Structure 1
Amino acid sequence: MISSLTEPLLYISIAQTFFVTLLIVTKNQSNYTDRFLIGWLGCLGIGSVLNLLRLHYNTFFQPPPVVDTLLAVSNPLMLYYARSLVIPDYKFNRKEAYLLAPFIALVVGVASISFRRFVGLEPPGVAYGPNKVEFDTGKAILILTLVFAYVVFYSFQTFKAINSNQKHLEDNYSIKSEEVQLRWLKYVAIVMFASQIWIFFSLAFSWYFNENMGLYAGLRIAITTAGNVLLIYLLTYFGIKQPSLFSKYHHSLPEEAQKEEENAHAKLLNKTEAERYLAQLKVYMERDKPHIRPNLSAVELAEYLGISRHHLTELLNEHHGLNFYTFVNQYRIEEVKRKFDDRAYDHLTLLAIAYDSGFNSKSAFNLTFKQSTGQTPSAYRKQILAQRPENPS
């Protein structure tokens, strides 16, 4: 029964992985984010192939533990994918390579505990047929401890990277849409963590009680497969839709402009430059009203001023005391207030005025307006209407 339900899921996940990987590979312009996503999906797809072979040939098919251990590279790939999305101008450098240390430690640690079994020179000690499990308790505990610490480390680092996105988001975007908040990636990380912890505890249970693994292998493969299928579908649906939040801009720059952008990190604006750029920015905001466009980004304002995005962030944070998100939304709030006070907009609803002023959601508008004025939009508008003279001159 379990096998009949699991097999179609495995075929679906393998096919889905293949076609989506092909789609990403054939993109005109790939970046680090795409490469990490391909690697992550590839690990999940290979895992599905192995589980399909185990399901059909459980008595004969016993890949050496090195195969499953190497597939654990999906965890650092998940972390790299998250970091490539949230770090402006992401590059895979030596510092990033250090994040592979736990993966290397896992491979070396598992291999050193039982090298001959690790590379397949001895039976793996976990049989899916009628045989009992044979293993050394001490070695099993060491391996389980390594695996548990490994999963927890990469999951924690991934959640940390996603949460750090808030700072970068507010320095670069004027709205908090689903695409830039990355909630979906947090759900994917949770599913992956839960799936791996399930495998960990099911193996620990079987090893501890020295039970016949054949009784549990089918169930473990079924639940693992369900988790993998869910992961693959979440990754393919959201991963393809997800724009590269920062690297897209960086890769679109000419090579000379890229070097200028990188050099800007080492050069600070002096007081005179900051005052001049800030004055230009205020004139532009009041005259052209770019804030009424919901998708206004820091890149656009930086290009208008002729400075790097890094210098725009410095200009707002250090010389104006605001991040980009707060700076733009202050202008949107003032735009809303102006329209509340203008009889020409009396026929519009609160939400219509909010959208017309650059906000993209009711919740963001209500929260930002109350934080700025201490009143809800409806209460503020009623107050304005009550104070307005009945017969305008």
Structure 2
Amino acid sequence: MNAVSSLLIISASQGVIFGLVILISPFFRSKTNNYLSYAILIVSLLMLNVYLDDIAVFIKYPKVKVLYDIEWIFLFPVFFFIYFLKSINHDLEKSKKLYWLYTPFMLSVIINVVFNLEYAYKWYAYTWEHKGFVYKMIFDIQELGYYSFNFILVIWSYKILKEKKYSTHPNTKWLKKLCVWIFLLIISWILIDIADMIFNIGYEIGISIICTGTSVFVFWVVYYGVYTLKLTNDKNDILLVNPTEILDKRQQKELTNPDTSFSEDNIYFQKLKNLLQKDCIYRDPNLSQEMIAKLLNISSGYLSQIVNDITKKNFTIYINSYRVKEVKCMILNTEFDKYSLLAIGLEAGFKSKTTFYTSFKKETGLTPSQFRSKNKKVPNF
């Protein structure tokens, strides 16, 4: 196996592994990430086809060449485009019009199946004038088509992200970077083809550049697109579940009745409790003593004194106690079993993993994972 073949099989294998992990792993799997996985698997299939061509599989077995001839590249921008739409909750994501995006791929399938049935399978043979010219023109248009189609969907995606409605979406920054990456890959791909035609740079050099770029791209996409954004998507999903509506009475009582002392009837403390229990302001990770003092129209120092005297806790610990109680309630509810503990903690208002784990351990004597394991129901057999 030469260096190019090795690079091709490594690139293809990496994509297959990452793609399947996204599809199978409960941590990564989601309707949005599935489309990202499909796109990565298509890239892997393209690399695999080039590898099989490099080791002359299609020459030895011409009847499977149709799998190489079909332009799977038409599916790559479609899956990424749908991933874009789902990532920002665009109105188009559920539109049936999206099915039209599969038209170029279906045309490629028809063209190449018809061609291979005649030349590879010898099912029929028609002789007609200008046959060779027509086939050449069709395949040239197909090649121009997949370049253009990729460009159009990437530019369309970027244009959507520039709209005011989506400019502040938490996923927009990452998706813009993804657009740039895909755009650069397409440009590199075209330039290598042109350089090969004009300067005859050589098959090995071109493939090596493409494989290296693709491998880096896939790794970057998997890390930033799946792992980093997984927490954001989990938080959005958890919001849809609406914890305050599904908690049972026992859990709700625990959440809305913090330990108090003799000064609980203080008017400002009652207002603070109302903000925490009804408005759930503790879910804001940037919540500060100054912000609450402003809401209550009192000084920050006075608020601190009220909280300290009544709860025997400082302000931060008191606010975190509400967050811990909500986390406990979510962990105890089976609706949240599919979400990571960190995602639950962030949704409850904790700003970081360290703060979450430290506060939870201090409040309960257990880590979040220990608490989940201890309270996990054992099924009856």
Matched, 1:222 2:208: yes
What displacement does 1:76 show? 0.7
1:122-141 equivalence runs, <5 A? 139=138
1:161-189 Cα offsets, whole Å, 9 max, x none, are: 4445964856xxxxxxxxx3343333233
Aligned identity (percent) is 12
Between the aligned partners of 1:57 and 1:150, the Cα distance in structure 2 is 29
Checking the alignment, whether the CA contact within 8 Å between 1:192 and 1:227 is kept in structure 2 is no
**In structure 2, which of residues 58, 71, 77 is the aligned counterpart of residue 69 of structure 1?**
71
Higher relative contact order (CA 8 A, sep 6+): 1
The AA in structure 2 aligned to 1:24 is I
What displacement does 1:332 show? 4.5
Between the aligned partners of 1:82 and 1:229, the Cα distance in structure 2 is 21
1:1-393 equivalence runs, <5 A? 4=3, 6-28=4-26, 30-57=29-56, 60=59, 63-64=65-66, 67-87=69-89, 93=94, 95=95, 97-105=96-104, 107-108=106-107, 117=115, 121=119, 139=138, 142-163=141-162, 167=166, 180-204=170-194, 206=196, 215-241=201-227, 242-243=229-230, 244=233, 248-249=237-238, 252=241, 285=275, 290-291=280-281, 293-295=283-285, 332=291, 342=301
The AA in structure 1 aligned to 2:12 is I
Change (3 A) 1:223 1:247: same
Between the aligned partners of 2:242 and 2:297, the Cα distance in structure 1 is 38
Change (3 A) 1:64 1:20: same
What displacement does 1:225 show? 0.9
1:140-160 Cα offsets, whole Å, 9 max, x none, are: 653344223211211023223
The AA in structure 2 aligned to 1:193 is F
Between the aligned partners of 1:335 and 1:7, the Cα distance in structure 2 is 66
Structure 1 counterpart SS, 2:84: helix
Which consecutive aligned stretches of 4+ in structure 1 deviate over 6 angstroms post-superposition? 134-137, 286-289, 336-341, 358-361
Between the aligned partners of 1:288 and 1:22, the Cα distance in structure 2 is 43
Between the aligned partners of 2:104 and 2:242, the Cα distance in structure 1 is 38
Change (3 A) 1:220 1:236: same
Between the aligned partners of 2:116 and 2:176, the Cα distance in structure 1 is 33
What displacement does 1:79 show? 0.9
Between the aligned partners of 1:43 and 1:159, the Cα distance in structure 2 is 21
Structure 2 counterpart SS, 1:196: helix
Change (3 A) 1:20 1:110: closer
Checking the alignment, whether the CA contact within 8 Å between 1:17 and 1:41 is kept in structure 2 is yes
Structure 1 counterpart SS, 2:25: coil
What displacement does 1:218 show? 1.9
Gaps of 5+ in 1: 123-133, 171-179, 258-280, 297-327, 346-352, 362-393
Between the aligned partners of 1:53 and 1:66, the Cα distance in structure 2 is 9
Checking the alignment, whether the CA contact within 8 Å between 2:11 and 2:214 is kept in structure 1 is yes
Q: Alignment length, in residue pairs?
A: 267
1:345-378 Cα offsets, whole Å, 9 max, x none, are: 9xxxxxxx9xx9x9979xxxxxxxxxxxxxxxxx
Gaps of 5+ in 2: 121-131, 247-270, 305-315, 320-348, 353-381
Change (3 A) 1:41 1:48: same
Checking the alignment, whether the CA contact within 8 Å between 2:73 and 2:146 is kept in structure 1 is no
What displacement does 1:236 show? 1.9
Structure 2 counterpart SS, 1:72: helix
Checking the alignment, whether the CA contact within 8 Å between 1:48 and 1:228 is kept in structure 2 is no
Change (3 A) 1:335 1:12: farther
Between the aligned partners of 1:40 and 1:169, the Cα distance in structure 2 is 25
Change (3 A) 1:248 1:160: farther
The AA in structure 1 aligned to 2:17 is F
Partner of 1:386: none
Checking the alignment, whether the CA contact within 8 Å between 1:86 and 1:245 is kept in structure 2 is no
Change (3 A) 1:236 1:9: farther
Change (3 A) 1:149 1:333: farther
1:238-261 Cα offsets, whole Å, 9 max, x none, are: 23312226762487579x99xxxx
The AA in structure 1 aligned to 2:208 is A
